Structure 1
Amino acid sequence: MAIHKVPPTKTILLDYQKQLSLAEEGYNLLDRKREVLLNELMRYIHRLKEVQKNAYADFVISLENFKSAYFKMSQEQIRDVLDFEPQKPKITTTYRSVMGIAVPEIVQSETYPQKKPSLDDSIADIEEVHQKMRQSVLNLIEYANIYNAIMKLAAEINKTRKRVNALENIFIPDYNDTINWVKDAIEENEREEFFRQKTVKKRVRRNA
């Protein structure tokens, strides 16, 4: 805590009372911002765990299906599968504002029909492999976006927390202490002035 060394005047008192009011208002807004960001961060962390779990599950399923299909395919079919380059998914990303922070979000993933390797229609496992691997890619892209959002939110929360702590532990207490000191000094000066005037009046009456 520190008292600002300022002239103990009513003008200074009013100025510091205004500064205190602004500091308290800023504290309330920043504290609210911190709570909103924390809630948003927890939502993203929960979603990140879901996406991670889904991506792993899709990958495991596609791997098992590929193993199953591998033993059913001829060497030529295996070469076709290995040489096949699937079309990359097209991702549309937008940004939404969370307390002034631009947070990325995947809003759409466009899919297009594509030529598949020539395989026997009876081998359904390989089709499942394509679908699951494609979904795994989408999950990984979403994972990267969510992770980026978490990092941005965490950085902003840390910055907001420092501001809240500074207001709560430094600025607001300093303003309060300074205001109280100025009030006490003004009251002391007024008492001294009152007694000085009273003494002057007594001397005037005595000399009259």
Structure 2
Amino acid sequence: MARLNVNPTRMVLTSLKKRLKVAVKGHKMLKDKRDELMRQFLELARENKTLREQVEKQLADVYSNFIIASAVMSSEVLDEALMYPKQGVSIEVGNKNIMSVDVPVFEFTTTTDDTSNIYPYGFASTSGELDSAIADLSDIFPIMLKLAALEKEVQLLAAEIEKTRRRVNALEYVMIPRFQETIKYIQMKLDENERGNQTRLMKVKDMMLAEAIKLKKEQDRIAFEEYK
């Protein structure tokens, strides 16, 4: 792992130790966030699977009823019966926050207060299968909205999980090892400089001691000559 290109000083060492501490703390927080996102993602994925199977089954029943209705009714009568819808729907899109991820929330309101008022035709000229198909579509519409919001939520959480995973890996395999390697390098350089300084001090001390011994011998010689 390549170390950072910095000067091996104690100030830089202190700064890197602080950055390493922050990086380790951030790594733990991101791992916890990733794990919680994964937990919620799996729960939503299971709910999404169940809801999708339910919607697909109900839609299959709707299509089956429509096919039967189109078989027993003429195309002109069927088109005329469905030409002018009686019930309208207005959809509002909100959002909620899940682990710093904004996910959509769909809400709808009907144009009339009577939500059961959904048949835009009289019952005399239409088949019961058409009634069943329209009723089933009315019932399944809120579930389809919930499924749409749920699938978008799953997609957004998956994208956030991938982004968080990359950040965790960048800290775990790049930044933290790089900080550790650089700190180790600076510590070794400082220790090396410290040993060099101690060696130089010992040499200076030996030189000063030798000089003091030499001076003392010279003083003793002069004193002895004066004594004679």
Given the two structures, how large is their TM-score scaled by the length of structure 1? 0.83
Quickly say closer, same or farther: Cα 1:115–1:97, change in 2 above 3 A.
closer
Q: Larger C-alpha radius of gyration, 1 or 2?
A: 2
Gaps of 5+ in 1: none
CA RMSD of aligned residues (A): 2.8
CA distance in structure 2 between the aligned counterparts of 1:115 and 1:9, rounded to whole angstroms: 79
Deviation at 1:16, TM superposition (A): 0.5
Quickly say closer, same or farther: Cα 1:156–1:71, change in 2 above 3 A.
closer
Contact 2:66 2:133 in 1 (8 A): yes
Which region of structure 1 is more displaced relative to structure 2, 79-88 or 133-142? Answer: 79-88
Aligned to 1:207: 211
Cα displacement string for residues 88-131 of structure 1 (whole angstroms, at most 9, x for unaligned residues):
3333432111121101123x4434423632115xx765443222
CA distance in structure 2 between the aligned counterparts of 1:29 and 1:90, rounded to whole angstroms: 41
Cα displacement string for residues 148-185 of structure 1 (whole angstroms, at most 9, x for unaligned residues):
22222222222211111111111100100111111111
Gaps of 5+ in 2: 213-228
Aligned to 1:16: 16
Corresponding position: 1:153 with 2:157: yes
Cα displacement string for residues 68-105 of structure 1 (whole angstroms, at most 9, x for unaligned residues):
66788799975653335242333343211112110112
CA distance in structure 1 between the aligned counterparts of 2:28 and 2:180, rounded to whole angstroms: 17
CA distance in structure 2 between the aligned counterparts of 1:158 and 1:13, rounded to whole angstroms: 33
Aligned to 1:198: 202
Deviation at 1:200, TM superposition (A): 0.5
Corresponding position: 1:182 with 2:186: yes
Corresponding position: 1:57 with 2:57: yes
Contact 1:77 1:119 in 2 (8 A): no
Cα displacement string for residues 37-91 of structure 1 (whole angstroms, at most 9, x for unaligned residues):
2222222222222222122222222344456667887999756533352423333
Contact 1:52 1:139 in 2 (8 A): no
Corresponding position: 1:100 with 2:100: yes
CA distance in structure 2 between the aligned counterparts of 1:72 and 1:2, rounded to whole angstroms: 77
Of 153, 168, 174, the residue aligned with 1:170 is: 174
Corresponding position: 1:48 with 2:52: no
Quickly say closer, same or farther: Cα 1:4–1:69, change in 2 above 3 A.
closer
Which region of structure 1 is more displaced relative to structure 2, 111-120 or 43-52? Answer: 111-120
For 1:97, what is the secondary structure of its paired residue? strand
Paired residues for 1:77-116 under 5 Å: 78=78, 81-106=81-106, 108-111=107-110, 112=112, 113=114, 114=117, 116=119
For 2:88, what is the secondary structure of its paired residue? coil
Identity of aligned residues (%): 27
For 1:83, what is the secondary structure of its paired residue? coil
Paired residues for 1:26-45 under 5 Å: 26-45=26-45
CA distance in structure 1 between the aligned counterparts of 2:196 and 2:79, rounded to whole angstroms: 102
